[in-house]
Structure 1
């Protein structure tokens, strides 16, 4: 095993929440008489929600944020599901003695809820969410915070995510990075960020971890 800790983004990496996010924005933007193209919404995944809301709604950002949060909590569990093979990957990492952590821009309560709904919470040792750091992706602080809690040197850590913000965050922290192609970003978008590896399924990540 090449790393002593593997950190993961949550939405679009471990759990499929794209439909949840799109539906939440469609509803909340509509309630405010606003709209945004699907591509615009997808391009914001990975950024702090409050920043995205101000980007879409200007000085009504707080109103949009509250509407989004209130509505999403009512539909959350129906939309969240793990990507195929994620449980098997986590079991593999545990067998190898590897630490598992989550670094997400999601609010802590929903991050834990999403992990529980997907049945992944029992594997995870640390969750660094929106409230846990002052700076957020793509700044390095969230990854460094998780590694500090785990007591793991950044040189022995890998951060896995599906967006350019994830790759930048990991690289800015000094960790190795892996991009996954089943989330919100294209392989071309990930390639431009220069991750150490781009994977198309979890088996390819296992191969990378084993040095193949």
Structure 2
């Protein structure tokens, strides 16, 4: 029998198909400040710290770092509506969980500024009890620091919570926190083709995941 009192989510590639706008913003910054082209695959390899941390590592001239960070967020906000579509299925699933009294949180490597932009534009901010971003932790995923922080504040034990994500770092973080892990591949853009380690459950559609949750909540 499975007891589920809380569901924690990664954000990019899990709750929203934001990877295209992330790629565009990083590519624009690297083109403007470094005069080089970067591929989506190269950008994914930079993930870990929030966007500002990535640019602090990558931009060679110290004087260019803060302007590059501001340019990233400008490009991210300006192109968000065009490149990121709200998912009716995701919103229905979140509403379903909220109506059944589950606690919900987000643990994302995004910076606070980009997370707030996306949550606001996608009208998701009302669903979550807690949002922990890459700016709020010392050790990003796959370290479980962010997950531990959310669980402690929600006062839910790891054994009674699920962690949902689309990357290897998500699954490793969830397992390190002692949670059951859900790997998802329901958006066209994902961070991994093959999970390693394997999640406890894998879903390729939001509908299948919601059916799984419905069964878990009624068993």
TM-score, length of structure 1 as denominator length: 0.87
CA drift at 1:84: 4.4
1:200 equivalenced with 2:204 (yes/no): yes
* Residue 27 of structure 1: aligned partner: 28
Please state whether the residue corresponding to 1:195 is helix, strand or coil: coil
1:17 equivalenced with 2:18 (yes/no): yes
Say whether the 8 Å CA contact 1:106–1:130 is kept in structure 2.
yes
CA drift at 1:109: 2.8
Alignment CA distance shift 1:43-1:2 (3 Å): farther
Once the two structures are superposed, what CA deviation does each residue of 1:97-138 show, in whole Å capped at 9, x if it has no partner? 111111111122321221121121111111011222211111
Please state whether the residue corresponding to 2:12 is helix, strand or coil: coil
Q: Which runs of 5+ in 2 are unaligned?
A: none
* Residue 108 of structure 2: aligned partner: 104
* Whole-angstrom CA distance in 1 between matches of 2:61 and 2:147: 31
* Whole-angstrom CA distance in 1 between matches of 2:47 and 2:85: 17
* Whole-angstrom CA distance in 2 between matches of 1:33 and 1:40: 15
Say whether the 8 Å CA contact 1:42–1:184 is kept in structure 2.
no
Please state whether the residue corresponding to 1:16 is helix, strand or coil: coil
Once the two structures are superposed, what CA deviation does each residue of 1:126-177 show, in whole Å capped at 9, x if it has no partner? 1011222211111110011111111111111111111111111111111111
Say whether the 8 Å CA contact 2:73–2:113 is kept in structure 1.
no
Alignment CA distance shift 1:201-1:45 (3 Å): farther
After TM superposition, which residue ranges in structure 1, 4 or more long, deviate above 6 angstroms? none
Aligned-CA RMSD value: 2.3
Please state whether the residue corresponding to 1:122 is helix, strand or coil: coil
* Residue 139 of structure 1: aligned partner: 143
Q: How many residues align?
A: 210
Say whether the 8 Å CA contact 1:101–1:127 is kept in structure 2.
yes
